Structure 1
Amino acid sequence: MVRHWQHNVTLYQLRIFLAVLRHRNYTHAAEELHLSQPAVSAQVHELEHLLGLALFEQVGKRLVPTQAALVLEEHARKVMAEIEAAADALESLHRIEAGRLSLVASTTIGNYLLPVTLALFHRRYPRVEIELTIENSQAVYEEVRTGRCELGLIESRVEALDESLLLTPYRRDELVLIVPPWHPWAHLESVPLAALREVTLLWREPGSGTRSVIEAAFQQAGIQPPVTMQLGSNEALKRAVAANMGVAIVSQAAVAAEVTAGWLSTVRIGDGALQRTLHLVQRRAGHLSPATQAFLALLLEPEAEQATNKAPDR
């Protein structure tokens, strides 16, 4: 038999077929399905025509299934069960009872700001799988642009932004100077930006969002401090400062635990001039999953920001 029928049989026909098989009667099947009896019998006859096989024989007032009907029943039930399972899975995604949250964040956000928010998210949606990738800001753009992650969070924006990406500001962050507790500046409320020319300033690597903000501030002030040492993470910067190798500029959120423990001190730069806006990155043409939409809503809640501001980094 030519198997062209498999492309023409519909779920509607299979549903009607199974109802007729249950009742062994067109009229009773029609009542269950809220259809007319002629509509039900017409669909069964069309299905028989597509298959090239009879599905029922009329014996008195009852329909008796043929061997073909019994074979089709087994597979039709599997098909309908799979459709039902797919509907349940999609509904779970819609209700955020399942799914996956895929994020990529720049270093400071990923290490110090997001963990508390993700903990809140996990308490609300415990069945959602969470994946967080941490990169520098330049790499975050690439992860989102190529679709490897749905949503990115960055500390600095690039000048030549890819047209396929959309940036949305979501919160402010202040950068502060960190020094050892015994440093002459440790008890000062603030130091001017120009004073940093007189000390050994430790830097993050090129491509870091923190570094981009610092470079822009120096350029605007007409200052060119020497880059004597650059380190690849905030943790490395903090340890180097604690070892009296120099001073560094980091997000206030990145040093909360060390300040509380008395290992480091923070000093404002000027009148808090090193402020930056943190941004969300997503594809303009992309559609965010229900889980990602729920995360965005949580991220913008006052409760999430307050919890982030209070939490130490370890």
Structure 2
Amino acid sequence: MLNLRQLEIFREVIRCQTTVAAAQGLALSQPAVSTAVKQMERQLGFQLFQRQGNRLIPTPEALEMYRDSDPIFSMVQSFSRKVTALRDTRSGSLRLLATPPIANALVPRALARFASSRPELHVDFDVRRTDGVIEGLESGAADLGVSLEPYARPGLEAELIGAGQMVCAMTRDHPLTAKSEISPAMLSGHRMIGFEPGARLGLLLQRDFFAGARPACPIEVRYSNTACLLAEAGLGVALVDSFTAISGSRYRLEVRPLSPRVSVEAYALYQKARAPKRLIRAFIDELKKAVRPAFLETGEDR
């Protein structure tokens, strides 16, 4: 039985019909090629080439072997291209889960850049609440999850991809746009769009901004992007994460930082027992590049 290296030499000799040319094509010495041909003939028990001067003319048996070896080398070449693509993170699959703020703000921008140089990339992307992201990772349904302020789980690694802050978003003609930052007292008398009970960002605001109190909000929503849409419609001011508020100039809103400042962090999540493959690692790096600065300029026009 011939190995792949022997078959490679055999095929090159047939193509070149001289051991000198075959040696050059294979980056071997001419004696090494000649020795390999003799060894193959001894192993097989029949002649592969007829010698005519310096030329080696393949026998009918050798030509049949050459034709039959085509599928083998096509498969080897395809596999080699696949390995090279994996090494360079140009192909593969990305099974991604993200919470709505990240899914709406960071993922589209990061995916657009990431996929532009990876035409063979296959993406399976779904949007879930934090509980759903964690459940998908723990069950193996996803390779990577991205969430704002996720809770700790023993089997998951949480890697910081960027920090932002909670901000006050309002229409451009709202009286609070005259302020450089927004304190709890300044919100008195203004309609507020808040988060539904138990929402993680709402609990964060309650603890770090409202000093433990839960303000009365005539409108409550589940997600920051919904709050921004309602604020844009003039239904009130929204306290939302900066990732959503400044996402790609999507909303016609003015944004002001809060005082006291409320930090909010975005994390990439993956199983501790399974290190991210190179493609996933590269996408995490792309997500980090997509994170906007957390500190917003006062009165910046969007």
Q: Does 1:170 find its partner at 2:166? A: no
After superposition, give the CA deviation of every residue in 1:267-300 in whole Å (9 maximum; x if it has no partner): 543321x211211212334344444333333444
After superposition, give the CA deviation of every residue in 1:3-50 in whole Å (9 maximum; x if it has no partner): xxxxx653123224324545678898678654264444233433x37x
CA distance in 1, matches of 2:183, 2:295: 23
SS at 1:190 equivalent: coil
TM-score by length of 1: 0.68
Q: Does 1:153 find its partner at 2:146? A: yes
Q: Is residue 101–residue 130 contact of structure 1 (8 Å, CA) maintained in 2?
A: yes
Q: Does 1:293 find its partner at 2:281? A: yes
Shift, 1:193, TM fit: 7.8
Distance change (3 Å), C-alpha of 1:40 and 1:231 = same
Name which of 260, 263, 281 aligns with 1:271: 260
Q: Does 1:134 find its partner at 2:127? A: yes
SS at 2:238 equivalent: strand
Counterparts of residues 147-226 of structure 1 (less than 5 Å) = 147-159=140-152, 161-163=153-155, 165-179=156-170, 185=176, 187-188=178-179, 189-192=181-184, 201-204=193-196, 209-211=200-202, 213-214=204-205, 216-217=207-208, 221-225=211-215
Shift, 1:175, TM fit: 0.8
Number of the residue aligned with 2:243: 253
SS at 1:158 equivalent: coil
Q: Is residue 106–residue 287 contact of structure 2 (8 Å, CA) maintained in 1?
A: no
Q: Does 1:237 find its partner at 2:237? A: no
Calculate the aligned-residue CA RMSD, in Å.
Answer: 4.4
Q: Does 1:282 find its partner at 2:273? A: no
CA distance in 2, matches of 1:180, 1:27: 79
Shift, 1:183, TM fit: 6.2
Q: Is residue 48–residue 59 contact of structure 2 (8 Å, CA) maintained in 1?
A: yes
After superposition, give the CA deviation of every residue in 1:79-120 in whole Å (9 maximum; x if it has no partner): 112212321232234334444554332211221233334444
Counterparts of residues 18-167 of structure 1 (less than 5 Å) = 18-19=11-12, 21-22=14-15, 33-34=28-29, 35=32, 37-46=34-43, 48=44, 54=46, 56=48, 65-67=59-61, 69-122=62-115, 125=117, 127=119, 129=121, 131=123, 132-159=125-152, 161-163=153-155, 165-167=156-158
CA distance in 2, matches of 1:221, 1:166: 30
SS at 1:286 equivalent: coil
The structure that is helix-richer by fraction is 1
Q: Does 1:17 find its partner at 2:10? A: yes
Counterparts of residues 299-314 of structure 1 (less than 5 Å) = 299-301=287-289, 304-305=290-291
Distance change (3 Å), C-alpha of 1:97 and 1:85 = same
CA distance in 1, matches of 2:248, 2:160: 28
Number of the residue aligned with 1:3: none
CA distance in 2, matches of 1:187, 1:30: 79
Structure 2: gaps (5+ residues): none
Shift, 1:257, TM fit: 7.4
Distance change (3 Å), C-alpha of 1:234 and 1:299 = closer
TM-score by length of 2: 0.71
One-letter identity of the residue aligned with 2:100: T
- Greater mean alpha carbon deviation, residues 82-91 or residues 183-192: 183-192
One-letter identity of the residue aligned with 1:221: A
CA distance in 2, matches of 1:90, 1:44: 33
Shift, 1:158, TM fit: 0.8
Count of paired positions: 290
CA distance in 2, matches of 1:130, 1:309: 35
Q: Is residue 208–residue 260 contact of structure 2 (8 Å, CA) maintained in 1?
A: no
CA distance in 1, matches of 2:89, 2:264: 33
CA distance in 2, matches of 1:299, 1:150: 15
Q: Is residue 169–residue 239 contact of structure 2 (8 Å, CA) maintained in 1?
A: yes
Q: Is residue 136–residue 209 contact of structure 1 (8 Å, CA) maintained in 2?
A: no
Distance change (3 Å), C-alpha of 1:59 and 1:180 = closer
Distance change (3 Å), C-alpha of 1:200 and 1:150 = same
Distance change (3 Å), C-alpha of 1:256 and 1:64 = closer
SS at 1:170 equivalent: strand
Distance change (3 Å), C-alpha of 1:176 and 1:15 = same
Shift, 1:250, TM fit: 0.9
CA distance in 2, matches of 1:197, 1:21: 89
